[in-house]
Structure 1
Amino acid sequence: MPSMRPRAINVLFGVAATVIIIAGLKAAAAIVVPFLLAVFLVILIAPIYFWLQRKGAPSWAALIVLILGMLGIGLFGATFFTNAINDFAGNLSKYQRELTLQINDSVKWLESHGVEIEEDWVAKTFDVRSLFTQTANLLKSIGGILSNAFVIILIAIFILMEAARLPDKIRHLPGMTDNRWQDLERIVDNVRHYMGMKTVMSAMTGVLVTTLLILMGVDYPILLGVLAFLLNFVPSIGSIIAAVPGILLAIVLHGMGDAMIVAAGYLIINVGISNVLEPRYMGKGLGLSPMIIIVTLFLWAWMLGPVGMLLSVPLTMAIKVALEASANTRGIAYLMSDTVPTKDTETSE
Structure 2
Amino acid sequence: MGRFENQGVAYKGFAIMAFLVVILAGIKAASPIVVPFVLSAFIAVICNPVIDWLARYRVPRGLAIMVLMVFIVLMGLWLASIVGSSINEFSQQLPHYRDQLVQQFSWVIDKLQAFNITVSRDQLLAYFDPGIALSMTTNMLSSVGGVMANLFLIILTVVFMLFEAQTLPKKLHFALDDPDMRLKQIDKFLHSVNQYMVIKTLVSMGTGLIVGIGLAIIGVDYALLWGVVAFLFNYIPNIGSIIAAIPSVLLAFIQIGPGAAGMTALLYLGTNMVMGNVIEPRYMGRGLGLSTLVVFLSLIFWGWLLGSVGMLLSVPLTMIVKIALESSQSGGWLAILLADDVSSPSGQQAASDDIEAETPRD
TM-score per shorter chain, which class?
Answer: 0.7 to 0.9
Q: Mapping of 1:140-159 within 5 angstroms?
A: 140-159=142-161
Match of 2:355 in 1: 347
- 1:79 pairs, out of 65, 78, 81, with 81
Superposition deviation, residue 51 in structure 1: 2.1
**Alpha-carbon separation, structure 2, partners of 1:29 and 1:161:** 25
**Alpha-carbon separation, structure 2, partners of 1:122 and 1:275:** 41
For the Cα contact (< 8 Å) 1:74–1:149, is it kept in 2? Answer: no
Cα deviations across residues 293-315 of structure 1 (Å, max 9, x unaligned)?
33222211111112212222222
For the Cα contact (< 8 Å) 1:81–1:143, is it kept in 2? Answer: no
**Alpha-carbon separation, structure 2, partners of 1:147 and 1:8:** 46
Cα deviations across residues 117-160 of structure 1 (Å, max 9, x unaligned)?
65843772452443433332233223324333332212101212
Structure 1: runs of 5+ lacking an equivalent: none
For the Cα contact (< 8 Å) 1:183–1:321, is it kept in 2? Answer: no
**Alpha-carbon separation, structure 1, partners of 2:92 and 2:352:** 62
Match of 2:253 in 1: 251
Which structure ranks higher in relative contact order (CA pairs < 8 Å, sequence separation ≥ 6)? Answer: 1
**Alpha-carbon separation, structure 2, partners of 1:119 and 1:316:** 41
Normalised to the residue count of structure 1, the TM-score between the two structures is 0.88
Over aligned residues, Cα RMSD in angstroms?
Answer: 2.7
- Structure 1 residues 120 and 7: alpha-carbon distance in aligned structure 2, compared to 1, 3 A threshold: closer
Normalised to the residue count of structure 2, the TM-score between the two structures is 0.85
- Structure 1 residues 99 and 330: alpha-carbon distance in aligned structure 2, compared to 1, 3 A threshold: closer
Match of 2:266 in 1: 264
Match of 2:16 in 1: 14
Match of 1:60 in 2: 62
- SS state of the match for residue 220, structure 2? coil
- Structure 1 residues 135 and 118: alpha-carbon distance in aligned structure 2, compared to 1, 3 A threshold: farther
Match of 1:124 in 2: 124
For the Cα contact (< 8 Å) 1:78–1:149, is it kept in 2? Answer: no
Structure 2: runs of 5+ lacking an equivalent: 358-362
- Structure 1 residues 235 and 60: alpha-carbon distance in aligned structure 2, compared to 1, 3 A threshold: same
Cα deviations across residues 23-53 of structure 1 (Å, max 9, x unaligned)?
1221111111111111111111112112222
- SS state of the match for residue 52, structure 2? helix
Q: Mapping of 1:211-222 within 5 angstroms?
A: 211-222=213-224
- 1:314 pairs, out of 313, 316, 325, with 316
Superposition deviation, residue 227 in structure 1: 0.4
Cα deviations across residues 230-253 of structure 1 (Å, max 9, x unaligned)?
001012221111011111111111
- Structure 1 residues 260 and 153: alpha-carbon distance in aligned structure 2, compared to 1, 3 A threshold: same
The aligned amino acid for 2:264 is V
Superposition deviation, residue 190 in structure 1: 1.3
**Alpha-carbon separation, structure 1, partners of 2:323 and 2:262:** 43
- SS state of the match for residue 148, structure 1? helix
**Alpha-carbon separation, structure 2, partners of 1:179 and 1:9:** 35
**Alpha-carbon separation, structure 2, partners of 1:188 and 1:327:** 17
Superposition deviation, residue 220 in structure 1: 0.2
- SS state of the match for residue 175, structure 2? coil
The aligned amino acid for 2:30 is A
For the Cα contact (< 8 Å) 1:74–1:146, is it kept in 2? Answer: no
Identity rate of aligned residues, in percent?
Answer: 39
- Structure 1 residues 25 and 102: alpha-carbon distance in aligned structure 2, compared to 1, 3 A threshold: same
The aligned amino acid for 1:121 is R
